[in-house]
Amino acid sequence: MSMLSRKQPPLHPFDAQIDIPLRSMTLGNGAKLFMIEAGTEDVLRLECVFRAGIIKEERPLLSSSVNMMLTEGSIRFSAEELNEMLDYYGIFINLQAERDSAGLTAFFLSRYFEKALELFSEILFRPVFPVKEFDKLMKKRLNWYRINREKVQNLAGNRFFESVFGPDHPYGRQPLEPDFDNLNPEMLRVFHARYYRPDEMAIIISGRIPESAVYLLEKHLGCQSSEKNHITETEAGIKGSLSKIDHIRKKGAVQTAVRIGTATINKRHADYPGLKFLNVLLGGYFGSRLMKNLREEKGYTYGIHSMVSSFDKSGLWMISTEAGRENSSKAVAEIKKEINILMKELVPAGEMAVVNNYMAGELVRSFDGPIAIAESFRSAWEFGLDLSYFSRMMHTIRTISPEEVLRLANTYFTTEDLYEITAG
């Protein structure tokens, strides 16, 4: 028989090293360059970011359509040729149009660095938005839109954003079927010229960076220029809708999607790291209160998550789950019950320690390897924050008290004014 004691965990303290081997500089045209040397394989992650997100669009679908059309034909190459070359060199690209920014992220073998830059300069700065490709894209997008509308998660999620940020703000505005007919290539060209500006681009490159990197980046991306344009932008204010509770009926649905939450502070606020802690405790990890209660004790759902995320003009707190129709109102009641407890009672020390260590481990993971480091860097940089953001986060995680958690819950959580959207 073994003498091994299996009752006690062999636990050791650990810490996150947040030191990024970061070099930053400015290219000839004013573009910002950030280089992170990391990793063991000869691969690179390269991201080009522009302030060309949904926030800039005057009508729905514009930002994302411009972004998706970047690989659909340039001055030198047709759509087929561009895609053929990307695939030939094993360059995997993700085009992304988010709420505040847009651009592309690419992954490729270091030996194809120059080839990749040649292609990116075409894709980013010389797209031609051919009518034929544009028409096809809009038809495809309408097809996808109709399919997505059949998912209760999307129905609830879209209405949630519309309610929290208001139907007139780009964060909240949702496309309707006619919007797929309301764009044309000229609008895309104008948007592109305004917002895909080489001088306002940020390049984040990470991995095993070749010695010639700066020279090649100057040669292919640093020499691109654009005319100065002075855009006067009218900014829509965020105005959430007055009715907070809404249900979207979906015939034949066997589950109801639930989205509960409200607008909140973002990353720039001093309380944000603490709010992150509070949110993880509520529903941000497998051992969270919501997961334990609604999944592991009651079996109402396959999963429930609470998240706090940051946009340029606002933060967002959102709890999401899908529950069987018969259990959805019970699920909502339990969610509110758990929020209430956090607003009334101090969190026990044991649970504080679990969240503390879990989040510290997450922070270690978010600095492991060239891809994770680049993503972490970007997530702070785009809010004008430097790496001290992560040190502050680590400090908060390690030192926050139950009293501070209670204060944060009473400042940022509520059960009265929450948006509560269900679909099913």
Partner 1 sequence: MIDFRTYKLENGLRLIVHEDRSTPLIAMNLLYDAGSRDEDPSKTGMAHLLEHLMFCGTENIPEYDLPLQLAGGENNAFTNNDITNYYITLPAANVETAFWLESDRMQAPGFSDSKLEVQKSVVIEEFRQRYLNQPYGDAMLLLRPLAYKSHPYRWPTIGVEPEHILGITLEDVRHFFDRHYNPGKAILTLTGNITPDRAYELSQKWFGPIQAGKDHVRKLPAEPEQTGERRLNIERNVPADALYKAWHMGPRSGSDFHTMDVITDLLAGGESGRLYNRVVRDLNLFSEINAYITSDIDPGLVVVTGKIMKGVDIDKAEQAVDQVIQELIDSGIPDNELEKVKNRYESSSVLSNTSILNKAMNLSVFELLGSVSSINTEVEAYRAVSKLMISEAANMYLKPANCSTLWYLASKNQGK
- Sketch the per residue contact string, 312 through 341, with partner 1: x for CB under 8 A, - otherwise: ----------xxx-----------------
* Binding piece for partner 1, criterion CB under 8 A, among 190-198, 240-248, 261-269, 283-291: 283-291
Does residue 43 bind partner 1 (CB under 8 A)?
Answer: yes
Task: Please report which helix (H) or strand (E) contains residue 317, including its range.
Answer: strand 315-324
Please, what is the minimum distance in Å from the beta carbon of residue 394 to partner 1?
12
The tokens 């997961």 sit on which residue? 291
CA proximity to 67, closest of 170, 143, 137: 137
CA proximity to 406, closest of 343, 334, 361, 322: 343
Residues 124-143 that bind partner 1 (CB under 8 A): 136, 139-140, 142-143
**Total residues at interface with partner 1 (CB under 8 A):** 79
Nearest-Å Rg of the Cα atoms of the chain is 24
* Binding piece for partner 1, criterion CB under 8 A, among 188-196, 228-236, 358-366, 379-387: 358-366
Does residue 178 bind partner 1 (CB under 8 A)?
Answer: no
Does residue 299 bind partner 1 (CB under 8 A)?
Answer: yes
Does residue 177 bind partner 1 (CB under 8 A)?
Answer: no
Q: Could you say which of 14, 229, 233, 270 contacts partner 1 (CB under 8 A)?
A: 14
Nearer to partner 1, 341 or 353 (CB): 353
Three-class SS string for 223-242?
A: CCCCCCCCCCCCCCCCCCCC
Nearer to partner 1, 40 or 229 (CB): 40
Nearer to partner 1, 237 or 252 (CB): 252
* Binding piece for partner 1, criterion CB under 8 A, among 164-172, 258-266, 270-278, 300-308: 300-308
Does residue 234 bind partner 1 (CB under 8 A)?
Answer: no
Helices 349-365 & 272-283 angle (0-180, nearest 10):
110
User: Rounded CA gap, 320 and 318, in Å?
Assistant: 6
Q: Could you say which of 214, 236, 248, 364 contacts partner 1 (CB under 8 A)?
A: 364
* Binding piece for partner 1, criterion CB under 8 A, among 56-64, 90-98, 229-237, 377-385: 90-98
SS3 9: coil
User: Rounded CA gap, 311 and 306, in Å?
Assistant: 17
Of the chain, the end-to-end C-alpha distance in Å amounts to 55
Please, what is the minimum distance in Å from the beta carbon of residue 107 to partner 1?
5
Residues 203-232 that bind partner 1 (CB under 8 A): 207
Does residue 239 bind partner 1 (CB under 8 A)?
Answer: no
CA proximity to 221, closest of 188, 195, 196: 196
SS3 344: helix
Task: Please report which helix (H) or strand (E) contains residue 391, including its range.
Answer: helix 388-399
Does residue 297 bind partner 1 (CB under 8 A)?
Answer: yes
User: Rounded CA gap, 358 and 280, in Å?
Assistant: 9
Does residue 296 bind partner 1 (CB under 8 A)?
Answer: yes
* Binding piece for partner 1, criterion CB under 8 A, among 55-63, 226-234, 362-370, 374-382: 362-370
Q: H helices of 231-304, where?
A: 272-283, 289-290
